[in-house]
Structures are given as C-alpha cells and as structure tokens.
C-alpha cells in the first residue's frame, strides 16, 4: 500500500483541532457550527464527482460509494463549519434578533440549495471545468446574500480571507507530511498550472470562495444580526 493511501484522510483531519477549539470556546455558536458542518459535509459528497473527473484524483481510505468516499464528508464538515463561525469568534460577535423582522428566509433554504446546485452543475454540464463552476457558484451565493443583507459583507470577506489563510497554513503542513501529494493527486493544468509555494492556485481560490459564501449563510437564512459580545461573558 502506498504511503499516500491515507493522505486525503490525514489532510481532512488537519483542521479538526481548530473546529474542536471553536466548539469548546463558543458554545453559544454550537447550533450554527453543527448545522453548517452537516450541510457542508453533505454538499461535499454531492459536488465531489465533477472534481474527480477533471480536477484531482485522491486515494480514498474509505471509498463507500463509486463517486467518492467518507473523506469528502469529513473535509466538508470541518471546513464549512469553521467558515460559518470564524468571523463571530475573531470579532467577538454574538447573535441577536433583527428588529422589525418577524420572518426569516429559512423557508427558502431548500429552494436556495437547489439553485446553488444549479449554479454549479449547469456550468459543469456546459463544459466548464469544475473549479471554475465552483468559484462561479460561490460568487453567486455570496453576491445574493450581500445584495440583500449589506451588513453581512464584512462577514463574507473576513470568512473568505480566514479560510483562505487556514488552507494555506494547512497545506504547508500537509506538504511537510506528503511532499509529493500535489503531483500525485492534482491535475496541474488550467488554474492549477499556477502555484504559490507549491500549493495549487485553485485550492486557494476555492478556499476563499467557500469561506465568503459559507460565512454569512446561517445569519442570512435564520434572520439574525451581529452584536458585540460582552467581554465578561463566558461560554
């Protein structure tokens, strides 16, 4: 068995300590963290097939189905969960109900997921490489949210930058453990013909887009706004 047989699983678990730290330190955000983590894991499974066709070819430790494995769920679970709450943690924010807003957009969650899936899979069907389709769908989702809720712009930008930075740092560690993983797993053409310190550019762009799209999603659909968290509050 290759030394790289468990590389995807190990890479997926690199960010687990941060996810666990956020859960421990911000118990008030546990509901958002778990909700978005589960959604992220499921979407990772649904969106994996096109990437396996034209973007990368990882080795799965647990290939539970023909188009991917449990590693997709694990990575999506942790990265989307982190993206959803990292802004609140960094800036000491908490949720409060929006004044004068009796209804939220929660009833539109399923239609929104369907439209988001369409924004990804339609370009793929038309022949666009999966990484560009993903970036397009992230841009559509983030743009719609921010155009309706201008107050969530900072959340989107900060979440994108933080997730991009975490991916950069995590990838550096990943390459220390598996130095040849990029050449073994990734198709190094298109956007990935460019790299930064050995990291495919597509990975960094994808991470920023994911963070920008995932960061404000929960607040948008639940209909909450941010308020500064009292400094003496302990959770």
What is the residue-wise DSSP string for 67-122? TB-HHHHHHHHHHHHHHHHHHHHHHTEEEEEPTT----SGGGHHHHHHHHHHHHHH
pLDDT, position 62: 79
For residue 195, the cross-strand partners are: 200
For the chain, what is the mean pLDDT?
89
Confirm if 6 and 46 have CB atoms less than 8 A apart: no
Name which of 61-70, 75-84, 162-171 the model is least confident about: 61-70
Q: What are phi and psi of 95, to 5 degrees?
A: -95, 145
Residue 54 DSSP one-character state: H
Strand pairing partners for 228?
93
Using pLDDT thresholds of 50, 70 and 90, give the confidence band for residue 15. Answer: very high
Residue 93 clears pLDDT 80, i.e. is over it: no
Which residue in this structure is represented by tokens 């687990």? 16
pLDDT score, position 235: 43
Strand partners, 39: none
| pLDDT band for position 234 (cuts 50, 70, 90) | very low
pLDDT of 1 above 50: no
Rounded CA-CA distance 162/156 in Å is: 10
> Which has more confidence, 188 or 221?
188
Residue 97 has pLDDT above 90, yes or no: no
Residue 193 banded pLDDT, cuts 50, 70, 90: very high
Checking if the pLDDT of 60 tops 80, the result is yes
- What per-residue confidence (pLDDT) applies to 91? 87
> With bands split at pLDDT 50, 70 and 90, how would you rate the model's confidence at 110?
confident
What's the pLDDT score for residue 230? 61
Where do runs of H (alpha helix) occur along the chain? Answer: 7-13, 16-25, 30-54, 70-91, 109-125, 130-148, 153-177, 181-185, 201-214, 217-222
Q: What is the CA radius of gyration of the chain?
A: 18
Give the confidence band of 112 by pLDDT, cuts at 50, 70, 90: confident
Tokens of 172: 């550096």
Q: Is the pLDDT of residue 106 over 60?
A: no
Total-model pTM: 0.89
């Amino acid at each position: 068995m290759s030394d790289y047989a468990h590389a995807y699983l190990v890479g997926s678990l690199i960010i687990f300590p941060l996810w666990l730290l956020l859960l421990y330190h911000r118990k008030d955000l546990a509901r958002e963290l778990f909700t978005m983590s589960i959604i992220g894991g499921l979407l990772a499974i649904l969106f994996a097939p096109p990437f396996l066709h034209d973007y990368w070819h990882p080795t799965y430790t647990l290939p539970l189905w023909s188009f991917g494995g449990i590693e997709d769920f694990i990575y999506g679970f942790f990265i989307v969960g982190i993206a959803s709450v990292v802004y609140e943690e960094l800036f000491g924010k908490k949720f409060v109900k929006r004044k004068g807003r009796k209804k939220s957009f929660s009833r539109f969650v399923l239609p929104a997921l369907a439209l988001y899936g369409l924004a990804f899979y339609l370009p793929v069907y038309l022949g666009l490489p999966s990484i560009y389709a993903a970036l397009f769908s992230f841009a559509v989702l983030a743009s719609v949210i921010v155009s309706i809720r201008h107050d969530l712009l900072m959340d989107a930008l900060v979440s994108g930058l933080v997730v991009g930075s975490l991916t950069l740092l995590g990838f550096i560690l990943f390459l220390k453990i598996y130095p040849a993983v990029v050449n073994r797993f990734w198709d190094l053409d298109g956007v990935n013909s460019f790299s930064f310190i050995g990291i495919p550019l597509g990975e960094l762009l994808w991470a920023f887009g994911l963070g920008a799209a995932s960061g404000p999603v929960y607040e948008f659909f639940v209909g909450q706004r941010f308020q500064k968290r009292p400094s003496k509050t302990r959770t």
